[in-house]
């Protein structure tokens, strides 16, 4: 009888059933899409961070930066000094060229003993150190003053000659690329885990102390370099041994990778590092490791992935904010509205069916049987809404995934001079950096375009169906309670 | 057999307390057909609710056979209504979304009867009231007289000891009224029911073995 009665009520009161089911369906669809987009945006943020910090990095340790110092290794703009005999002279012009490998303004280094300290912290699975540098190449052409070929005429008779324009002028170029010193014998964590080898080979233990370089594929293409070619860094020649491409973006955080000890030697930063990348034994250990590192390295900036996520900017950040604020509140409001509609319709239905329920009680139905009937109807209405909502939600996710909106995310990995702490030690610059030049502010290190892909998980679907059933149960419980309170005499009284 | 002893029923109203029944003492033997008449608001329906185990008296005792209805818990009263008492209402009180057969089945649902048996008994009950061809019709597809026949089938399908009818012909024309009363009277005779009919209609009341009048909560016998 329960099933027959329920079926008849739902099919013969189609309007009410449809309104409740549609309201619930829209809610469930919205919940699925908002949760899905939220998961997709989180995954995209993780990809952006991976492009900078590497896959598996749970924590980064860097040094709180200090203000720039004049020509110092710890920060300030580099200076280039040329003696009178420097350069090569030909055809009335002198060619000058000088390269410096240095940390960027505002970047800070710290003793590499910190690596051992971090490795000694409980539950640290692996850790590796890097040194982030910028190679600045200053080159130009000036008139050969000693040969009298350039400069301003003193007697007003002979026009100036030589120089870049042949009339006594000069021309200078400044080129900068980012260089990351990698511990080639270290643990498999850090920047190189975010890239894949596309040509040549990667580092091995035999590369310690050698002048070998691995290039980012974007930079290699721009600089027209390949495996076996030579690249000048810090005034020395490096053999290109491999090309790598980012696994998650069109640009990685650095242009070149060289052995850590070589980077330290060329930058005059022996025993110095800029970032330690840490992998925890378990995700549940991250808080403890962060706390322990902050204790043993009180001057260090210790950042977890959660902290780093806040460094992601761009449309990805906007999407994240939108989902976490508007999307969540919209879901809550629509959910509350759907529950309220469901409850009000159920109560209205019970009120309208007073005589019906009174009659059923008069013919011997117990309170429990009447409550079960009302609750059952509400539950099925909620479940119908849930099923339709899941279908609509999945369809919405399918449409979004087919459209594939592209979100752009930048992870800020350095610090403006005098600014706040940076999560990492990467540096910006030509050509892949997000901003700044060799003498400007150091800003975003990697801009990544991520195609938003919304994952569909059983958990989201189960939660959505659970909400629909909860809504049905809530409405049914309240409606059933109203029905149970009806006195059977109402049926007779209403017709007497 | 019904036995009412000093039954009083009072309601709290905005303008004070209303006494619907006052010190009613009454005995109705099994198998008797009784008509209850009286002015509107005189207490007819309240008396019927007492007899139907739908209300408890403010004071006094209502007993149906060995069962003292006035002191029984709600769950037991529901059981009494499910097994022993059938109701027929003036407005038919059929469930609009169910078919005639399903409406009749609602009276068997509390008894835990298997669905196949329930369907068969409901069909038989509808045949007995002349609606064997209308079992699949919903109330809106039936005339007033046919709806009341469905209501009578619903009341009788569980084979109760008592049939309580509250103005069963109040919404019907004279011809249909006579048909329905013929049907009720025939069932009363055939099944040995106790039939208690509340009515304004003297033509209906005259069919009863015993006529009671209730006025201002007091019951009197009418010869």
pLDDT by residue (tens digit) across A208-266?
A: 889 999 998 888 998 899 999 999 888 889 999 999 887 654 445 688 999 999 999 98
Give the model's pLDDT for residue B28: 93
Residue B111 touches partner A, C-beta closer than 8 Å: yes
Mean pLDDT along residues A283-311: 81
CA distances from B35 to A97, A405, B206 (A): 123, 80, 8
Q: Is A363 within 8 Å of B74 when comparing Cβ atoms? A: no
Tell me which of A53-57, A210-214, B134-138 is least confident. A53-57
Q: Is A496 within 8 Å of B44 when comparing Cβ atoms? A: yes
Residue A151 has pLDDT above 60, yes or no: no
**DSSP-derived secondary structure letter, A166:** S
State the pLDDT confidence band at A443, using cuts at 50, 70 and 90. Answer: very low
Calculate how close chain B gets to A12, using CA atoms only, in Å.
6
Residue A475 has pLDDT above 90, yes or no: no
Q: How many CB pairs under 8 A join A and B?
A: 102
Pairwise CA distance, residues A253 & A216, whole Å = 9
CA distances from A163 to A19, A134, A138, A139, A175 (A): 83, 29, 16, 13, 20
Taking contacts as CB-CB distances below 8 angstroms, the residues of chain A near B139 are none
Torsion of CA A221, A449, A303, A189, to 10 degrees: -50
For B93, the closest of A5, A9, A359 (CB atoms) is A359
Strands (E), A234-342: 236-246, 256-259, 272-273, 275-280, 300-304, 312-313
3-state secondary structure at position A359: helix
Tell me which of A246-250, A382-386, B37-41 is least confident. A246-250
Pairwise CA distance, residues A400 & A387, whole Å = 20
Under 8 Å CB-to-CB from A224, ≥6 apart: which residues? none
Taking contacts as CB-CB distances below 8 angstroms, the residues of chain A near B155 are 363
Which of these, A444, A426, A453, A385, lies nearest to A134 by C-alpha position? A426
Mean pLDDT rounded to a whole number for chain B: 90
Q: Is B110 within 8 Å of A493 when comparing Cβ atoms? A: no
A458-485 vs A14-53: helix crossing angle, rounded to 10: 150
Pairwise CA distance, residues A195 & A179, whole Å = 15
Give the model's pLDDT for residue B29: 93
CB B166 within 8 A of CB B45: yes
Rounded to the nearest angstrom, the gap between the alpha carbon of residue A420 and the centroid of all alpha carbons in its chain is 19
Burial call B105-125: b when 16+ CB within 10 Å, e when fewer:
bbbbbbeebeeeebbebbbeb
C-alpha R_g of chain A = 34
Total Cβ atoms within 10 A of residue B83: 14
- What SS3 string covers chain B? CEEEEEEEEEEEECCEEEEEEEEEEEEECCCCEEEEECCCCCCHHHHHHHHCCCCCCCEEEEEECCEEHHHCCHHHHHHHHHHHEEEECCCCCCCCCCCHHHHHHCCCHHHCCCHHHHHHHHHHHHHHCCCCCCCCCCHHHCCHHHHHHHHHHHHHCCCCCEEEEECCCCCCCHHHHHHHHHHHHHHHHHHCCEEEEECCCHHHHCCCCEEEEEECCEEEEEC
Mean pLDDT rounded to a whole number for chain A: 76
Taking contacts as CB-CB distances below 8 angstroms, the residues of chain A near B45 are 492-493, 496
In terms of CA atoms, which chain A residue is nearest residue B56? A489
Q: Is B154 within 8 Å of A363 when comparing Cβ atoms? A: yes
Pairwise CA distance, residues A79 & A71, whole Å = 6
What are the φ/ψ torsions at residue B23 (nearest 5 degrees)?
50, 50
Q: Is B45 within 8 Å of A493 when comparing Cβ atoms? A: yes
Give the model's pLDDT for residue B31: 92
Q: Is B93 within 8 Å of A356 when comparing Cβ atoms? A: yes
Residue B70 touches partner A, C-beta closer than 8 Å: no
A328-352 vs A14-53: helix crossing angle, rounded to 10: 160
Total Cβ atoms within 10 A of residue A296: 12
State the pLDDT confidence band at A187, using cuts at 50, 70 and 90. Answer: low
By percentage, how much of chain A surpasses pLDDT 70?
70
In sign, the C-alpha dihedral spanning A227, A230, A232, A238 is positive
Burial call B173-206: b when 16+ CB within 10 Å, e when fewer:
eeebbebbbebbbebbeeeebbbbbbbebeebbe
Q: What is the pTM of this model?
A: 0.60
State the pLDDT confidence band at A424, using cuts at 50, 70 and 90. Answer: very low
In terms of CA atoms, which chain B residue is nearest residue A367? B75
Tell me which of A137-141, A267-271, B26-30, B194-198 is least confident. A137-141
For B97, the closest of A12, A492, A493 (CB atoms) is A12
Pairwise CA distance, residues B88 & A64, whole Å = 88
Q: Is B111 within 8 Å of A364 when comparing Cβ atoms? A: yes
State the pLDDT confidence band at A100, using cuts at 50, 70 and 90. Answer: confident
Give the model's pLDDT for residue B213: 92
Q: Is B89 within 8 Å of A5 when comparing Cβ atoms? A: no
Pairwise CA distance, residues A381 & A231, whole Å = 70
Taking contacts as CB-CB distances below 8 angstroms, the residues of chain A near B93 are 355-356, 358-359, 362, 491, 495
Taking contacts as CB-CB distances below 8 angstroms, the residues of chain B near A365 are 78, 82, 106, 109-110
- The length of chain B is 223
Taking contacts as CB-CB distances below 8 angstroms, the residues of chain B near A363 are 81-82, 86-87, 106-107, 110, 154-155
Residue A421 has pLDDT above 50, yes or no: no
Q: Is A364 within 8 Å of B95 when comparing Cβ atoms? A: no
What are the φ/ψ torsions at residue A392 (nearest 5 degrees)?
-65, -40
By percentage, how much of chain B surpasses pLDDT 90?
49
Give the model's pLDDT for residue A412: 55
Calculate how close chain A gets to B216, using CA atoms only, in Å.
16
Taking contacts as CB-CB distances below 8 angstroms, the residues of chain A near B83 are 364
Give the model's pLDDT for residue A31: 81
Total Cβ atoms within 10 A of residue A117: 17
Contacts 24+ apart (CB under 8 A), B51-56: B51/B2, B51/B162, B51/B164, B51/B196, B52/A362, B52/A492, B52/B81, B52/B85, B52/B87, B52/B164, B53/B77, B53/B80, B53/B81, B53/B85, B54/A362, B54/A487, B54/A488, B54/A489, B54/A492, B54/B81, B55/A487, B55/A489, B55/B9
Give the model's pLDDT for residue B30: 92
C-alpha distance across the termini of chain A, in Å:
29
Taking contacts as CB-CB distances below 8 angstroms, the residues of chain A near B111 are 364
Residue B203 has pLDDT above 80, yes or no: yes
Q: Is B96 within 8 Å of A12 when comparing Cβ atoms? A: yes
């Amino acid at each position: 009888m329960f099933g027959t009665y329920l079926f008849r009520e739902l099919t013969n009161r189609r309007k009410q059933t449809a309104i409740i089911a549609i309201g619930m369906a829209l809610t469930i669809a919205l919940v699925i899409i908002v949760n899905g987009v939220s998961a997709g945006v989180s995954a995209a943020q993780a990809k952006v961070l991976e492009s900078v910090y590497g896959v598996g990095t749970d924590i980064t340790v860097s040094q709180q930066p200090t203000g720039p110092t004049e020509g110092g290794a710890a920060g300030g703009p580099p200076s280039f000094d040329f003696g009178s005999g420097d350069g090569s002279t030909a055809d009335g012009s002198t060619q000058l060229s000088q390269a410096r490998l240095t940390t960027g303004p505002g970047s800070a280094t710290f003793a590499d003993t910190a690596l051992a300290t971090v490795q000694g912290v409980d539950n640290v699975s692996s850790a590796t150190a890097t040194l982030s540098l910028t190679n600045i190449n200053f080159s130009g052409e000036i008139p050969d003053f000693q040969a009298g070929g350039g400069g301003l005429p003193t007697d007003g008779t002979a026009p100036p000659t030589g120089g870049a324009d042949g009339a006594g002028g000069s021309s200078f170029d400044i080129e900068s690329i980012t260089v990351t010193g990698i511990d080639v014998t270290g643990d498999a964590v850090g920047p190189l885990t975010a890239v894949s080898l596309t040509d040549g080979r990667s580092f091995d233990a035999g590369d310690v102390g050698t002048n070998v370089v691995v290039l980012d594929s974007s930079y290699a293409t721009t600089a027209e370099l390949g495996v076996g070619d030579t690249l000048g860094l810090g005034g020395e020649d490096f053999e290109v041994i491999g090309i790598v491409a980012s696994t998650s973006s069109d640009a990685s955080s650095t242009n070149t990778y060289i052995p850590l000890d070589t980077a330290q030697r060329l930058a005059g930063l022996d025993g110095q590092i800029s970032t330690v990348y840490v992998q925890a034994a378990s995700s549940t250990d991250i808080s403890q490791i962060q706390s322990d590192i902050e204790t043993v390295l009180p001057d260090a900036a210790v950042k977890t992935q959660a902290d780093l996520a806040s460094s992601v900017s761009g449309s990805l950040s906007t999407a994240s904010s939108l989902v976490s604020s508007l999307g969540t509140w919209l879901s809550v409001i629509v959910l509350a509205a759907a529950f309220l509609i469901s409850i009000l319709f159920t109560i209205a239905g019970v009120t309208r069916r007073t005589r019906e329920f009174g009659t059923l009680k008069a013919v011997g139905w117990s309170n429990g049987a009447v409550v079960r009937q009302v609750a059952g109807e509400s539950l099925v209405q909620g479940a119908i809404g849930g099923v339709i909502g899941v279908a609509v939600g999945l369809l919405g996710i399918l449409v979004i995934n087919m459209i594939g909106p592209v979100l752009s995310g930048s992870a800020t990995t350095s610090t403006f001079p005098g600014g706040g702490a940076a999560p990492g030690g990467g540096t910006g610059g030509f050509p892949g950096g997000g901003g700044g030049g060799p003498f400007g502010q150091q800003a975003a290190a990697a801009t990544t375009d991520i195609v938003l892909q919304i994952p569909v998980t059983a958990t989201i679907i189960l939660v959505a169906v659970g909400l629909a059933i909860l809504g049905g149960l809530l409405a049914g419980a309240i409606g059933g309670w109203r029905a149970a309170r009806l006195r059977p005499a109402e049926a007779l009284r209403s017709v007497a | 057999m019904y036995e009412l002893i000093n039954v009083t029923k009072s309601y709290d109203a905005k303008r004070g307390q209303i006494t619907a029944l006052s010190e009613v003492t009454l005995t109705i033997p099994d198998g008797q057909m009784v008509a209850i008449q009286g002015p509107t608001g005189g207490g007819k329906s309240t008396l019927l609710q007492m007899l139907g185990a739908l209300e408890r008296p403010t004071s006094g005792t209502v007993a149906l056979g060995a069962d003292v209805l006035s002191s029984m818990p709600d769950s037991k009263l529901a059981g009494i209504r499910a097994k022993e008492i059938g109701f027929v209402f003036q407005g038919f009180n059929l469930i609009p979304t169910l078919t005639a057969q399903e409406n009749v089945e609602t009276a068997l649902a509390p008894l835990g009867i298997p669905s196949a048996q329930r369907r068969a008994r409901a069909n038989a009950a509808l045949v007995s009231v002349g609606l064997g061809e209308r079992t699949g019709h919903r109330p809106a597809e039936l005339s007033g007289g046919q709806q009341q026949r469905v209501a009578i089938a619903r009341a009788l399908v569980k084979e109760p000891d008592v049939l309580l009818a509250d103005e069963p012909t109040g919404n019907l024309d004279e011809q249909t009224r006579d048909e329905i009363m013929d049907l009720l009277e025939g069932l009363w005779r055939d099944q040995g029911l106790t039939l208690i009919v509340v009515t304004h209609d003297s033509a209906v009341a005259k069919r009863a073995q015993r006529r009671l009048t209730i006025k201002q909560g007091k019951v009197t016998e009418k010869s």
